[in-house]
């Protein structure tokens, strides 16, 4: 691979990954899934590679995924050896992992050509592939397969993805990543050019219509998270408690977006150490 692609990237994470609350026997497969998704995301987004280099690397990454019994995966043995063990031991649905790669490929292509999502449905379809597979893979490991649980998991994962979009709104736009959609902007009499003009003028207040648009996005993400929250009572044992923290962590980020008056074009809210106590308290009362 070209050196323009990332080799190691440190990441700020909002939510726990294979924490001490996770059942010990599942920490290895959960970590394998996480490192697979994180590395693929880095190939799509980090470093200084060209779009064609990124797509080539993701294609090689997909080949390693589908080489289900390699003695030495070609480019990422530290990723695929533990992942292949998890696939074999737990019969993980490989299609869900492939859906993640499909979403990362789409990210590269859409960023390269300046694609604007047409409507909320198109954006939610992206979330279906970029976020929902992670929740479904975890439910598979926990032995939870019923329709209601899968639907609630999708709601939580999509909400987390949307929360990440609105938390990172300014940073993403500066990097050419656009998760706005034309239909919802038009409903608030906004255009993408107006949003970008606001981004480039941090000394000016956000237009009221843009604040109203962001308010609606936050409300929608919060409602979606609440619709999936009953899943915490369906996931067994310690995993259910970790899920409570994930849900409350997402809701806390929404609180912080509201606290900066929805201006995530110029302010990126983060969870701080002192947010942990409030998140835990809220998790206890779910």
SS3 per residue for the chain: CCCCCCCCCCCCCCCCCCCCCCCHHHHHHHHHHHHHHHHHHHHHHCCCCCHHHHHHHHHHHHHHHHCCCCCCCCCCHHHHHHHHHHHHHHCCCHHHHHHHHHHHHHHHHHHHHCCCECCHHHHHHHHHHHCHHHHHHHHHHHCCCCHHHHHHHHHHHHHHHHHHHHHCHHHHHHCCCCCCEHHHHHHCCCCHHHHHHHHCCCCCCCCHHHHHHHHHHHHHHHHHHHHHHHHHHCCCHHHHHHHHHHHHHHHHHHHHHHHCCCCCCCCCCCCCCCHHHHHHHHHHCC
Q: What is the mean pLDDT of residues 85-110?
A: 96
pLDDT at residue 68, as a whole number: 58
Q: What is the mean pLDDT of residues 225-252?
A: 94
Q: What is the dihedral of CA 138, 143, 27, 81, to 10 degrees?
A: -80
For 200, residues 6+ apart whose C-beta sits below 8 A from its C-beta are none
Which residues are 181's β-sheet partners?
A: 117
pLDDT at residue 88, as a whole number: 94
pLDDT confidence tier of residue 174, bands split at 50, 70 and 90? very high
Which residues are 117's β-sheet partners?
A: 181
- Reported as a single tens digit per residue, the pLDDT across 103-157 is 999 999 999 999 999 999 999 999 999 999 999 999 999 999 999 999 999 999 9
pLDDT at residue 72, as a whole number: 58
- For CATH 1.10.600.10, list the domain ranges present in the chain: 117-286
* Phi, then psi, of 262 in degrees rounded to 5: 70, 10
- The answer on pLDDT for 71 being more than 80 is no
Q: What angle do CA 182, 188, 193 make, to 5 degrees?
A: 55
Least confident of 7-21, 39-53, 72-86, 217-231: 7-21
d(CA 145, CA 111): 35
- The answer on pLDDT for 16 being more than 80 is no
The residue behind tokens 């031991």 is 89
The residue behind tokens 């470093």 is 47
At the second CATH level, the architecture of 117-286 is: Orthogonal Bundle (1.10)
Provide the token pair at 63.
């080949």
pLDDT at residue 6, as a whole number: 53
pLDDT at residue 5, as a whole number: 56
pLDDT at residue 224, as a whole number: 98
pTM of the complete model: 0.91
CB 210 within 8 Å of CB 192: no
Q: What is the mean pLDDT of residues 265-277?
A: 93
- The answer on pLDDT for 240 being more than 70 is yes
The residue behind tokens 């940073």 is 171
d(CA 96, CA 132): 9
pLDDT confidence tier of residue 212, bands split at 50, 70 and 90? very high
């Amino acid at each position: 691979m070209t050196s323009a692609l990332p080799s190691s990237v440190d990441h700020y994470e909002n939510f726990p990954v294979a924490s001490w609350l996770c059942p010990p026997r599942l920490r290895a497969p959960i970590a394998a899934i996480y490192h697979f998704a994180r590395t693929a995301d880095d190939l799509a987004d980090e470093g200084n590679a060209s779009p064609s280099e990124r797509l080539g690397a993701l294609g090689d990454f997909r080949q390693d995924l589908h080489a289900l019994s390699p003695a030495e995966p070609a480019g990422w043995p530290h990723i695929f050896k533990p992942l292949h063990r998890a696939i074999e031991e737990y019969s993980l649905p490989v299609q869900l992992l492939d859906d993640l790669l499909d979403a990362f490929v789409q990210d590269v292509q859409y960023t390269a050509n300046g694609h604007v999502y047409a409507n909320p449905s198109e954006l939610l379809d992206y979330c279906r592939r970029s976020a929902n597979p992670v929740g479904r893979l975890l439910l598979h490991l926990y032995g939870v397969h019923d329709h209601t649980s899968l639907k609630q998991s999708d709601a939580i994962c999509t909400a987390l993805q949307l929360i990440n979009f609105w938390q990172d709104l300014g940073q993403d736009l500066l990097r050419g990543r656009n998760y706005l959609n034309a239909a919802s902007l038009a409903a608030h009499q906004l255009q993408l050019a107006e949003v970008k003009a606001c981004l480039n003028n941090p000394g000016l207040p956000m237009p009221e219509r843009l604040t109203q648009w962001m308010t609606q996005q936050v409300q929608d993400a919060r409602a979606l998270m609440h619709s999936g929250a009953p899943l915490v009572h369906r996931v067994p044992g310690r995993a259910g408690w970790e899920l409570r923290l994930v849900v409350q962590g997402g809701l806390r980020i929404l609180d912080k977006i509201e606290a900066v008056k929805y201006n995530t074009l110029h302010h990126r809210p983060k969870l701080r150490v002192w947010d942990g106590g409030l998140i835990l308290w809220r998790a206890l009362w779910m």
